[in-house]
């Protein structure tokens, strides 16, 4: 394990606005891990703080997790003392940071969306940009050029051209100035502009970052394909550290992940299928760019989801210039369970805002899509598998807008199914053949059961 014991690391952890999901016990509760230069550490002071909080509310599930870490860190500290390490001046204890060629997945994603220098390079037509800008001013009432840059995520050089053209059409006017320079002019809609904004709102009420054209996003998926993720046996052992499981399972996981296709984990309840599936998600080592929204034949599709998409474990250099309509995230991991329906695999259209929400598989591109408890969904297994015939075979999917327009999108992801049921009972052979890897999570042996009991007794402070 890797442990941070100094106050500065604890303060750094608390000062960061967001952390990956695996830094917490669950969701955003009990923060106790910190990523430093892409390496995950346990923060000693945070562990003790979280244990105190969990004890106050009698959160037994959290305590089980945290006491295991407490046992680990106390053993690591004892080993450091035995080696004569000065704990008062030390920051990190335990294993050294992994080197790229030994423990971390190979990182090959070099895609960076270039910043557009003109309206033409943005990929959006003038009509849409005019309407989008008037919607933003309509919603805000009074806005500066600098605020429009922050809202639309386009360079001021493009915003300035649009503002001048809209002034020429007498749709907006300058109402004041908050500071020096053109960027601080305040703009308002004229009566004619208010009418134009009202007409624009009838098409869509979206007024956030400017969308990215569909074809540009498709090109980005190809450039950041999940096929670029390559894992080794050492990667897998690190991701599965602390789990007691049969060696044969690890031998099957590597080829399944490197195939970048599909797999099914099956076995009896309680054998750890969901835990193994979640550990596989830890093998997604690098980061990718995704757009906040996508523009496709007049449809605005919301792509970025802060519930699903996590910030990168390694911060971007300040000198990196890129199109601000894109956001950099860790390779996505989308998890769904019994709540999955066929409607959830299509575009969701909000009739009030006239904005589309991307479906699960679209948000999972370049990452992992995990369907947990497969076979317990609200729709028939046959219907779900039948829906995925084309994506699993062709690596692309079709989505339909409310106008009947079909959009072809990439299906570039590792899709995993976890189930307690016998695969032969889930569907016909033709459908099951399209799931490339079927991994049975077998029952623990007697020795493995004893090892699990030893670990749990140590955590619970019960003599074995």
* pLDDT value at residue 217: 98
291-316-8 Cα angle (round to 5): 130
| pLDDT tens per residue across span 209-252 | 999 999 999 999 999 999 888 788 788 888 888 788 887 788 78
Q: For domain 125-209, which CATH number applies: 3.20.190.10, 3.40.50.620, 1.10.800.10, 1.10.10.10?
A: 1.10.10.10
Dihedral angle at the C-alpha atoms of 5, 11, 16, 21, nearest 10 degrees? 40
The domain limits of the chain are 2-94, 125-209, 215-451
What is the residue-averaged pLDDT of the chain? 88
3-state helix, strand, coil in the chain (%, to 5): 40, 20, 40
CA gap 70, 65 in Å, rounded: 9
CB neighbours of 43 closer than 8 A, spacing ≥ 6?
4, 9, 10, 13, 32, 33, 34
pLDDT tens per residue, range 165-176: 999 999 999 999
123: left (phi over 0), alpha (psi -120 to 50) or beta: left
For position 99, what pLDDT does the model report? 54
pTM, two decimals, is: 0.76
Span between the terminal Cα atoms of the chain, in Å: 24
Q: What is the pLDDT of residue 43?
A: 94
Distances (CA, A) of 155 to 104, 113, 151, 239, 292: 36, 14, 11, 41, 16
**Which CATH number applies to 215-451?**
3.40.50.300
Residue with the two structure tokens 């989308």: 334
Mean pLDDT by 10 residues, the chain (464 residues): 89 86 80 82 93 92 84 88 89 74 50 94 96 96 94 96 96 91 93 96 95 97 88 82 81 84 87 81 83 96 94 77 94 87 92 96 93 82 83 91 94 91 75 82 87 87 86
């Amino acid at each position: 394990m890797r442990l941070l014991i100094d106050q500065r690391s604890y303060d750094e952890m608390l000062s960061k606005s967001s952390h990956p999901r695996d830094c917490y016990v669950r969701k955003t509760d009990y923060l106790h891990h910190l990523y430093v230069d892409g390496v995950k550490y346990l923060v000693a002071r945070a562990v003790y703080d979280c244990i105190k909080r969990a004890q106050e509310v009698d959160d037994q599930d959290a305590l089980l997790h945290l006491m295991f870490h407490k046992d680990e860190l106390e053993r690591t500290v004892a080993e450091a003392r035995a080696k004569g390490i000065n704990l008062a001046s030390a920051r990190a204890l335990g294993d050294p940071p992994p080197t790229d060629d030994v423990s971390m997945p190979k990182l090959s994603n070099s895609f960076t969306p270039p910043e557009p220098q003109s309206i033409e390079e943005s990929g959006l037509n003038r009509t849409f940009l005019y309407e989008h800008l008037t919607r933003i001013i309509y919603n805000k009432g009074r806005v500066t050029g600098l605020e429009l840059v922050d809202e639309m995520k386009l360079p001021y050089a493009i915003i300035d051209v649009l503002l001048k053209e809209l002034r020429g059409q007498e749709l907006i006017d300058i109402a004041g100035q908050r500071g020096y320079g053109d960027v601080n002019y305040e703009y308002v809609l004229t009566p004619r502009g208010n009418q134009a904004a009202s007409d624009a709102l009838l098409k869509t009420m979206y007024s956030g970052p400017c969308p990215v054209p569909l074809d540009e996003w498709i090109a980005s998926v190809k450039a950041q394909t999940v096929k670029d993720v390559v894992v080794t046996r050492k990667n897998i052992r690190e991701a599965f550290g602390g789990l007691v499981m049969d060696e044969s399972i690890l031998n099957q996981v590597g080829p399944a992940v490197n195939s970048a296709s599909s797999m099914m984990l099956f076995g009896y309840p309680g054998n750890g299928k969901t835990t193994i599936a979640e550990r596989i998600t830890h093998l997604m080592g690098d980061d990718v760019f995704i757009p906040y929204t996508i523009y496709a034949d007049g449809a605005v599709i919301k792509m970025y989801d802060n519930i699903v998409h996590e910030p990168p474990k390694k911060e971007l250099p300040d000198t990196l210039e890129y199109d601000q309509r894109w956001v950099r995230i860790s390779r996505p991991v989308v998890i769904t369970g019994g709540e999955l329906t066929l409607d959830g695999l299509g575009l969701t259209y909000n009739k009030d805002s006239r904005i589309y929400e991307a479906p699960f598989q679209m948000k999972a591109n370049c990452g992992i899509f995990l369907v947990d408890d497969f076979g317990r969904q609200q729709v028939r297994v046959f219907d779900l598998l039948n829906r995925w015939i084309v994506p699993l075979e062709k690596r692309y999917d079709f989505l339909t807008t409310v106008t009947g327009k079909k959009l072809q999108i990439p299906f570039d992801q590792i899709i995993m199914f976890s189930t307690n049921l016998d695969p032969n009972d889930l569907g016909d052979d033709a459908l099951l053949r399209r799931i490339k890897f079927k991994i049975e999570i077998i029952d623990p042996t007697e020795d493995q059961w004893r090892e699990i009991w030893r670990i749990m007794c140590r955590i619970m402070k019960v003599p074995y």
